[in-house]
């Protein structure tokens, strides 16, 4: 009698292209323990197209997978399931959808809703994904995450193939994420790059990050969209790396914490008056190539507390339409032109404020704008200076200004 196990086989379908082999088993052989998979791999009983395979190998459409038939007790073990979704859960999940196609869903995640579960976290996006299956072949999957108190654009893959494609885009930084934030104070430099390495803060259990020369390289681009005096500013942020809490730590490190971020800004992260104490960090725009061709370029509207703060501080929402990366390769859109012109006019008006204060009470703000300043009239009682001999009427004196080289 042979001791060899019975063998089973499968052909990798297109929807599983690019996923890890252990993920394939989790999807199609739910009762197979991971320890058993690892033992099969070590003993050479797992093969792809006749070659020994490892549980971490990425699989491709059309490959032939050979494996032992799982024991009966493994097949019978039920997969873990979350709590049943209520009508309110379904309404919450579907109400956040701002984009949907055959391969992807984009949510405008609410502030205060965790992306994934954790200690004492019962409601989270991952637990709501069954409500977002719609007519898709499988349960959707998260491919990146946002902090619990950060709102905005969150991408979800509808197929394993799309999940693998999007995950690669995030890992190689080809996906572009743009955030809006309200910060305390105003940076001296209106647009720049923050380059400060980050590491987990000792003693925080990995829950907090800090600037550390021995940490991982971390870069953030920023642009001041508008300022409210010297008390606050509305900024656009673009992470060039993807460290935990990167934007929050970087802004606090340069002395301008995000409003509502007490974790990194302490008491100084809260503004007085009617400004909400919630986090003012929003994933505004997401741009990423699509596995079926083309690209997703989606913007998420800010939540109520963020919009109320923009209004309370007197910010002009039109100014946010011109982004860091919106240096047009071709003709700019009319909206972008209008926003850029308005921003330029605003800067000129601010620059002229000091100039206006120095004018006499008799002068008007628009007296000399775009015109040559009139020569002072001769004082009464003093004769006008005599003309030089030989000077022709209307002749001009030679200019002493240097000519452009």
By annotation, the residues acting in catalysis are: 147
Q: In the beta sheet, which residues pair with residue 220?
A: 194, 239
Cα 317 to Cα 336: distance, rounded to the nearest angstrom: 12
Q: Beta strands of 58-203 (E only): which ranges?
A: 64-68, 97-100, 104-109, 141-142, 151-157, 176-184, 191-195, 198-200
Cα 125 to Cα 98: distance, rounded to the nearest angstrom: 15
Q: How distant is the alpha carbon of residue 118 from its chain centre?
A: 23
Q: In the beta sheet, which residues pair with residue 221?
A: 193, 238
- Do residues 292 and 102 touch, judged by C-beta distance below 8 A? yes
Q: Which residue from 266, 247, 265 is spatially nearest to 257, judged by alpha carbons?
A: 265
**Residue 8, token pair as written in the block:** 């089973």
Residue 32 exposure: Cα atoms within 13 Å on the Cβ side: 20
- Give Cβ neighbours of residue 202 (< 8 Å, ≥ 6 apart): none
For the chain, how are helix, strand and coil distributed in percent, rounded to 5?
A: 25, 25, 50
**Long-range contacts, 350-358 (Cβ 8 Å, 24+):** none
């Amino acid at each position: 009698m042979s001791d060899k196990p019975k063998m089973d086989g499968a052909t990798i379908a297109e929807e599983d292209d690019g996923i890890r082999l252990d993920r394939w088993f989790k999807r199609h052989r739910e009762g197979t323990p991971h320890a058993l998979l690892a033992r099969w791999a070590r003993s050479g009983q797992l093969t792809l197209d006749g070659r020994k395979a490892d549980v971490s190998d990425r699989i491709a459409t059309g490959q032939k997978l050979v494996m032992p038939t799982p024991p009966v007790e493994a097949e019978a073990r039920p997969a873990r399931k979350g709590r049943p979704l209520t009508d309110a859960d379904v309404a919450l999940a579907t109400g956040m959808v701002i984009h949907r196609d055959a391969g992807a869903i984009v949510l405008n995640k609410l502030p205060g809703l965790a992306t994934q579960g954790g200690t004492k976290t019962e409601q989270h996006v991952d637990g709501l994904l069954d409500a977002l299956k719609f007519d898709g072949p499988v349960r959707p999957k998260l491919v990146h995450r946002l902090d619990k108190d950060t709102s905005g654009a969150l991408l979800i893959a509808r197929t394993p193939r799309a999940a693998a494609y999007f995950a690669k885009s995030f890992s190689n930084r080809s996906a572009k994420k743009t955030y809006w934030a309200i910060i305390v104070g105003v940076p001296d430099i209106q647009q720049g790059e923050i380059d400060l390495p980050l590491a987990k803060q000792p003693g925080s259990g990995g829950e907090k990050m800090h600037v550390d020369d021995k940490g991982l390289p971390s870069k953030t681009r920023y642009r001041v969209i508008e300022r409210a005096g010297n008390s606050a500013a509305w900024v656009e942020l673009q992470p060039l790396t993807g460290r935990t809490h990167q934007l929050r730590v970087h802004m606090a490190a340069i002395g301008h914490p995000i409003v509502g971020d007490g974790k990194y800004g302490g008491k100084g992260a809260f503004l007085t008056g009617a400004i909400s104490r919630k986090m003012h960090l929003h994933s505004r725009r997401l741009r990423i190539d699509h596995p079926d061709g083309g690209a997703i370029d989606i913007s998420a509207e800010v939540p109520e507390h963020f919009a109320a703060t923009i209004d309370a501080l007197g910010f002009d929402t039109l100014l946010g339409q011109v982004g860091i990366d919106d240096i047009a390769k071709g003709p700019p859109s009319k909206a972008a032109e209008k926003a850029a012109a308005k921003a330029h006019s605003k800067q000129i008006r601010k620059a002229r404020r000091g100039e206006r204060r120095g004018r006499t009470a008799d002068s008007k703000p628009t007296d000399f704008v775009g015109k040559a300043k009139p020569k002072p009239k001769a004082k009464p009682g003093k004769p006008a200076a005599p003309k030089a001999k030989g000077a022709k009427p209307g002749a001009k004196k030679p200019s002493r200004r240097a000519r452009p080289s």
